[in-house]
């Protein structure tokens, strides 16, 4: 996405020899992209099946934000990867920019940016839930939550619209190194730096500040409870097990991509082939890691997923399901979760519970 394109004139090989030379690497790259796309799609479909229904401990607004994140992550596997693989099959390495590449590059940049904005809005919502639990219903109303989600999805297309215009200020070429239609940010360094100032840096600042404050609050709470010998050992590292991996995965996946973009814009030269491939596709792996850190670590999510599997097995094979699980217990848990989710008092506490159960320790 944010790297310079490979210039065919840089090679001394003929066009035919160049294509034969790239073929083994291309097969490996296509295989990696397909495997990553399948993992992202399957993981987010499982997440979507769960959070479209009520999950105990998750507020209504939390579900809205997590649905938005799941949709953005799913777009990696359902939109970004198929489009770029399709273009890589249609285009010859010697072809120049065209309208199709501009549209694909615009889709790539929009999905990447929307994912970052969505992660930032989730961090903001959880920050408010932890530090302003009593004011949460008035501060984070349903309308405001939906407006934040709409901003995360609508502002990136507006900001990145110049990429979609053939012959505009941003040149777009197909990169044989990353198998992606890449904007040539080196042709307009000012615009590329503007994108980082409006997308990566603001989102990173919001996520870092909000999650760091939440982590510090959890640490103080843990020390206070430990002082009075009322902290449970099983809950001592809840914040560390969620917040630290989330931030580590975010910076690991996105920082190399942004660094390559700034390097290309400033220096005007491209990074090595495999470095370009890794930094361009590494952010998509964040779409799979989000499934783990935001969902599978959560016990309520795992319980609800097992319940959905039980219900699916009961529909497909009632005899087998009856011998393996107790359906009455599952139905009781399901009804209890639905009723609790509709309770206004639980709505307030669940918004806090979804933030790593920080305040529920008391």
Kind and range of the H or E run holding 76: none
Mean pLDDT is lowest, of 57-66, 102-111, 159-168, 320-329, for: 320-329
User: What is the spatial distance between Cα 108 and Cα 81, in angstroms, rounded to a whole number?
Assistant: 9
127: Cβ contacts below 8 Å, ≥ 6 apart: 210, 213, 214
Instruction: At 127, list the tokens.
Output: 């920050």
Alpha-carbon distance 38 to 225, whole Å?
44
Residue 206 neighbours by CB under 8 Å, 6+ apart: 120, 123, 124
Say what the pTM is: 0.77
Percent of the chain scoring above 70 in pLDDT: 72
Q: In whole angstroms, what is the distance from residue 126 CA to residue 130 CA?
A: 6
User: Which of 33-37, 61-65, 93-97, 138-142 is the least confident region?
Assistant: 93-97
Give the rounded percent of residues in the chain with a pLDDT score beyond 90.
24
Q: CB–CB of 69/83 below 8 Å?
A: no
179 by DSSP, 3-state: which? coil
Report how far residue 196's alpha carbon sits from residue 5's, in angstroms, rounded to the nearest whole number: 19
**Cα–Cα distance, 323 to 317 (Å, whole number):** 10
Given a contact cutoff of 8 angstroms between Cβ atoms, the answer to whether 130 and 355 are in contact is: yes
Question: Which pLDDT tens digit goes with each residue over 211-263?
Answer: 999 888 888 877 777 776 654 554 445 566 778 888 888 999 999 988 888 88
CA separation (Å) from 59 to 104, 200, 238, 327, 354?
36, 28, 19, 26, 7
For the chain, domains (ranges, CATH) are 8-361 (1.20.1070.10)
Answer whether 78's CB lies under 8 Å from 45's CB.
Answer: no
Question: 46-70, pLDDT tens digit by residue?
Answer: 888 888 777 766 778 888 898 999 9
């Amino acid at each position: 996405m944010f790297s310079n394109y490979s210039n065919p004139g840089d090679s001394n090989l003929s066009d035919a020899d160049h294509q034969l030379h790239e073929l083994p690497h291309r097969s490996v790259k296509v295989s990696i992209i397909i495997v990553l796309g399948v993992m992202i799609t399957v993981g987010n479909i499982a997440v979507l099946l769960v959070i479209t229904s009520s999950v105990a401990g998750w507020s209504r607004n939390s579900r809205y934000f997590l649905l938005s994140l799941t949709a953005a992550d799913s777009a990696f596997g359902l939109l970004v990867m198929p489009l770029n693989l399709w273009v890589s099959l249609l285009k010859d390495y010697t072809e120049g920019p065209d309208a199709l590449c501009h549209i694909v590059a615009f889709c790539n940049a929009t999905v990447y940016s929307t994912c970052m904005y969505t992660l930032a809005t989730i961090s903001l919502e959880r920050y408010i839930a932890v530090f302003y639990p009593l004011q949460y219903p008035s501060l984070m109303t349903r309308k405001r939550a939906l407006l934040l989600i709409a901003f995360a999805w609508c502002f990136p297309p507006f900001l990145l619209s110049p990429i979609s215009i053939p012959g505009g200020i941003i040149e777009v070429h197909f990169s044989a190194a990353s198998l992606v239609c890449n904007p040539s940010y080196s042709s307009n360094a000012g615009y590329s730096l503007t994108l980082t100032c409006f997308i990566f840096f603001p989102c990173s600042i919001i996520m870092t500040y909000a999650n760091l404050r939440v982590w510090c609050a959890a640490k103080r709470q843990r020390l206070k409870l430990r002082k009075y010998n009322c902290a449970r050992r099983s809950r001592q590292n809840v914040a560390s097990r969620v917040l630290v991996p989330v931030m580590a995965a975010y910076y690991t996946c996105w920082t190399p991509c942004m660094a390559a973009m700034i390097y290309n814009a400033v220096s005007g030269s491209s990074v090595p082939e495999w470095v370009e491939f890794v930094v361009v596709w590494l952010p998509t792996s964040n779409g799979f890691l989000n499934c783990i850190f935001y969902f599978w670590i959560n016990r309520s999510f795992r319980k609800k997923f097992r319940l959905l599997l039980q219900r699916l097995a009961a529909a497909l094979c009632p005899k087998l399901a009856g011998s393996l699980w107790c359906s009455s217990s599952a139905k009781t848990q399901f009804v209890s979760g639905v009723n609790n989710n509709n309770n206004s008092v639980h709505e307030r506490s669940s918004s806090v519970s979804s933030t790593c159960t920080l305040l529920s320790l008391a």
